[in-house]
């Protein structure tokens, strides 16, 4: 049989992209809320070449930033990755704060850390929920646990910010306002709830023999390939890339800790890293709550915030990997250039390296283990 070329569509609306086949990863997988295509060369029902085709959800975020002042930029910065909204806001705020030499109050720094980890748990639970379903699509107790955990985390984030998806809680110089008096006890209660739900999630995924056999050895991304392509986050760490800006960065106050690492770089290792990161976030939030200082959560700012002339690059650890902002200013109240380095844009390129050798029947399992947010690609 001669090799044939097919194009598959992934995500909501993929059937409108003129593709040969549609792969359903929904309804909750993060990449299901956009649409991208994969051009595959298949020989004897095995993928031999793969090329991700993106650009169907162009958001124009960077150009929109350039015609808005820095306060307005923050309200847009959380939208290109809808599962990392708080982290996206924070990265832009940190860039402006570094340019203007602001010192954020210690309480705001710690609250930002807690909210970042809550945002991370939210993103990972959304990613895990569809993986807990049976092959027939029927939900399991693990599905119920993941959905319940996601809703609980969203409720706590909403209590702190007033927003359910786009939180808009960050401000230049800190946070918009302090958290409610009952919020800290609510977060502690949430930690206990998510911890109690994790066994059901694990039993439906990484602790299930059928799940392990179905994902082990599939879609292997080597450490060298991950480094060459700039793959970060749980996907990179599953391949042994020991980089985590929570530990290695300088912008927040995380204590030294060991990130969750894998070594095999296959579909199973990627899911194991995501589950492990939920457990790590629980520990990081608990330790930060114990060390939460009192005091203000923002700085008094002038009516118009202007960054001095120059440029700066700031990066943070978003749920799916490294999120960076290159801010160039001419001393005005709007950025001259605000370039985003988004994790999904770099990570999606890895599909060309990990899909060859994958049987066509196993494509959903491999793609389901590989989280991208399409708005973060087509920024």
* Tens-place pLDDT, residues 89-115: 999 999 999 999 999 999 999 999 999
Query: Largest alpha-carbon pair distance within the chain?
Result: 71
In a domain, 119, yes or no: yes
Q: Is the pLDDT of residue 205 over 90?
A: yes
In a domain, 341, yes or no: yes
Q: Answer yes or no: are the C-beta atoms of 319 and 87 closer than 8 Å.
A: yes
> What integer best gives the mean pLDDT of the chain?
94
Q: Is the pLDDT of residue 187 over 70?
A: yes
In a domain, 3, yes or no: no
Alpha helices in 205-266 (DSSP H): 209-215, 223-229, 233-238, 245-248
Q: How far, in Å, are 79, 164, 317, 356, 367 from residue 333 at the CA level?
A: 21, 29, 27, 48, 42
In a domain, 29, yes or no: no
Range of the domain at 144: 61-377
Q: Which residues pair with residue 357 across a beta bridge? A: none
**Rounded average pLDDT over 44-58:** 91
pTM: 0.95
Nearest to 118 by CA among 288, 264, 273: 288
In a domain, 43, yes or no: no
Q: Is the pLDDT of residue 227 over 80?
A: yes
Q: Which residues pair with residue 314 across a beta bridge? A: 325
The pLDDT, as a whole number, for residue 1 is 64
Domain count within the chain: 1
In a domain, 6, yes or no: no
Q: Which residues of 326-336 are buried (b: 16+ CB within 10 A; e: fewer)?
A: bbbbeeebbbe
CATH code, 358: 1.10.645.10
Distance of alpha carbon 130 from alpha carbon 117, whole angstroms? 21
The predicted-structure confidence for 270-279, as pLDDT tens digits, reads as follows 999 999 999 9
The predicted-structure confidence for 161-179, as pLDDT tens digits, reads as follows 998 888 999 999 999 999 9
The pLDDT, as a whole number, for residue 57 is 82
In a domain, 110, yes or no: yes
Distance of alpha carbon 223 from alpha carbon 228, whole angstroms? 9
Nearest to 222 by CA among 235, 212, 233, 211: 235
What is the percent of the chain with per-residue pLDDT over 70, rounded to a whole number?
A: 100
User: Strand (E) positions, the chain?
Assistant: 4-10, 21-23, 36-43, 46-53, 170-171, 174-175, 310-318, 321-329, 337-341
In a domain, 19, yes or no: no
Q: Omega of the bond prior to 27 within 30 degrees of 0, cis?
A: yes
């Amino acid at each position: 049989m001669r090799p044939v070329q097919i194009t598959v569509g992934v995500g909501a609306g993929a059937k409108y992209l003129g593709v040969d086949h549609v792969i359903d990863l929904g309804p909750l997988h993060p990449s299901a809320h956009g649409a991208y295509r994969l051009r595959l060369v298949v020989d004897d029902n095995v993928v031999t070449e793969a090329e991700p085709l993106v650009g169907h959800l162009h958001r124009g975020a960077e150009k929109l930033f350039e015609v808005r002042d820095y306060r307005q930029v923050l309200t847009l910065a959380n939208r290109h990755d809808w599962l990392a909204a708080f982290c996206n806001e924070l990265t832009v705020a940190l860039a402006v704060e570094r340019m203007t030499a602001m010192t954020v109050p210690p309480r705001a720094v710690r609250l930002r850390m807690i909210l970042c980890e809550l945002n991370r748990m939210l993103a990972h639970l959304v990613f895990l929920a569809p993986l807990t379903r049976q092959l027939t699509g029927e939900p399991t107790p693990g599905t119920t646990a993941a959905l319940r955990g996601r809703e609980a985390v969203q409720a706590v984030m909403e209590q702190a910010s007033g927003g359910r998806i786009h939180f808009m809680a960050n401000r230049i110089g800190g946070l918009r306002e302090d958290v409610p008096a009952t919020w800290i006890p609510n977060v502690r209660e949430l930690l206990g709830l998510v911890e109690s739900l994790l066994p059901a999630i694990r039993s439906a995924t990484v602790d299930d023999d059928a799940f392990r056999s179905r994902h082990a050895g599939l879609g292997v991304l080597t450490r060298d390939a991950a480094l060459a392509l700039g793959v970060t986050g749980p996907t990179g760490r599953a391949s042994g890339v020991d980089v985590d800006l929570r530990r290695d960065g300088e912008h927040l106050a995380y204590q030294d800790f060991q990130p969750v690492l894998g070594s095999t770089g296959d579909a199973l290792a990627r899911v194991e890293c995501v589950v492990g990161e939920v457990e790590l976030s629980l520990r990081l939030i608990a330790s930060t709550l114990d060390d939460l200082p009192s005091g203000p959560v923002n700085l008094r700012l002038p009516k118009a915030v202007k960054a001095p002339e120059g440029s700066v690059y700031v990066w943070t650890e978003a749920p799916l990997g490294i999120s960076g902002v290159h801010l160039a200013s001419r001393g005005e109240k709007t950025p001259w250039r605000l370039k985003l380095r988004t994790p999904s844009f770099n990570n999606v390129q890895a599909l060309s390296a990990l899909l060859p050798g994958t049987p066509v029947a196993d494509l959903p399992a491999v793609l389901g283990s590989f989280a991208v947010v399409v708005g973060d690609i087509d920024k």
